[in-house]
Amino acid sequence: MQILEPPPFSDQDAEADYYEDLCERGTEGEKLAAREKLAQLLYKRAMERQHQTNPKAVLPPANAEELLRAASLLERNVLDGYEDARQLGFLCHIYRAQGRYRLAKELSGVSDGLKAGTH
């Protein structure tokens, strides 16, 4: 699952637009990779915004929305049958950032099982 040679991007918005388009129009493999990449961009944007506003604060609504979108992109990959330990670990990380600790813990067991080859 990978995207061959994406074009150079002028900024994060252009990069996000590129991956949004691939999520809609790409092949199945490109869609999987684009959702993961877009989730990474949204997570990064949310964390940067949180750090700029107040690093010790609970996530503001704008950041919560970006994290929700990032989680939904990765959840879609799982629903489409793509179970990768690294991606599931990242989804656990997003769940923790959202305060969804129980869900993160449950998914962490699946991710660990995939790493160990027992799932």
Closest CA to 94 of 114, 78, 74, 110: 74
The angle at the Cα of 86, spanning 83 to 91, to the nearest 5 degrees, equals 80
pLDDT in tens, 31-71: 999 999 999 999 999 888 877 776 666 655 557 899 999 99
Name the pLDDT band for 27 (thresholds 50, 70, 90).
Answer: very high
In the chain, domain spans: 12-116
